Structure 1
Amino acid sequence: MSAAPGHRARLAGGLLAWYGVLGGAVAWAVHLFVGWGVDELTCAAGIHRVAGLPPRAVIGLAVVVPALVTVGALLAAVLTWRRTGRPARAGGDPRFARARMLALLGIWGNLLFLAIIVLGGIAVLVLPSCH
């Protein structure tokens, strides 16, 4: 049983909007747990390789991948902002105002999370390990 085209478009628009709002926060949480976790665990256990890679490479990936996910979420939020900003489509519908507000929240939130991920990554990569 397949969904109607309008339903699929609404679902895709809704998922895109929620990715725009929550993508950066989830990416930051992954960065936090993986980046700092690998650094702490390799120090505590004296491990010099994680999944065959040096810890710095894993930490670098734990910075780059979440940063890219956050940039994608930022772009999704901007797209949602642009889609909901067309007055002809809104027609006084409060759902457009809510979606526009969430898109604005996603834009600013993702900018903040991107800065946190980048600065946190710099800290993990620059500060000496095991001190």
Structure 2
Amino acid sequence: MAVTSAAPGHRARLTGGLLAWYGVLGGAVAWAAHLFVGWGVDELTCAAGIDRVAGLPPRAVIGLAVVVPALVTVGALLAAVLTWRRTALPRHADDDPPYARARLLALVGIFGNLLFLAIIVLGGIAVLVLPSCR
């Protein structure tokens, strides 16, 4: 009878760690990118008086600055949920600190990404609906 190790390998731990941190910080970084690109394009095109950004109308660039960060945030939310599910504790391991920390980070990631997704969507609606250059 062969005995297999239950401990994850180095690559699995690294991937799990990176996935967990993406689940925690992905929405915040995506929101920062949305903030700088979305509102920045709106303000700079208005100030410069131009009607094209890289060959696209400013509304298209702003729309991309809403959709892409929202998709990144949804991916981070799914990563946080996956981390939450992977760190489900067996009944006998309730005081295992690494699992408890990972589970707490996953919970912070879930709620944080929901918040950042709402901020990105509502901010995108505001920048697309409010008239620019006023």
TM-score (norm 1): 0.93
Q: Is the 8 A contact 1:84 1:90 kept in 2?
A: no
Q: 1:90 to 1:33 in 2, by over 3 A?
A: farther
**Distance (whole Å) between structure 2 residues aligned to residue 89 and residue 116 of structure 1:** 40
SS in 2 for 1:117: helix
> Which of 48, 52, 55 is the equivalent residue of 1:52?
55
Q: Which residue of 1 aligns with 2:88?
A: 85
> Number of paired residues?
127
**Distance (whole Å) between structure 1 residues aligned to residue 87 and residue 51 of structure 2:** 50
TM-score (norm 2): 0.91
4+ residue runs of structure 1 moved beyond 3 angstroms? 88-92
Q: Which residue of 1 aligns with 2:75?
A: 72
1:17-44 alpha-carbon deviations (Å, 9 max, x no partner): 0000000000000000000000000000
**Distance (whole Å) between structure 2 residues aligned to residue 68 and residue 93 of structure 1:** 33
Give unmatched runs, 5+ long, in structure 2: 1-7
Question: What amino acid sits opposite 2:33 in the alignment?
Answer: V
More helix by share: 1
Q: Is the 8 A contact 2:80 2:110 kept in 1?
A: yes
Q: 1:23 to 1:90 in 2, by over 3 A?
A: farther
Percent sequence identity over aligned pairs: 88
Q: Which residue of 2 aligns with 1:117?
A: 120
Q: Is the 8 A contact 2:83 2:106 kept in 1?
A: yes
Does residue 62 (structure 1) correspond to residue 31 (structure 2)? The answer is no
Question: What amino acid sits opposite 2:57 in the alignment?
Answer: P
Give 1:90 shift. 4.5
1:42-82 alpha-carbon deviations (Å, 9 max, x no partner): 00000100000000000000000000000000000000000
1:57-110 alpha-carbon deviations (Å, 9 max, x no partner): 000000000000000000000000000014169563200000000000000000
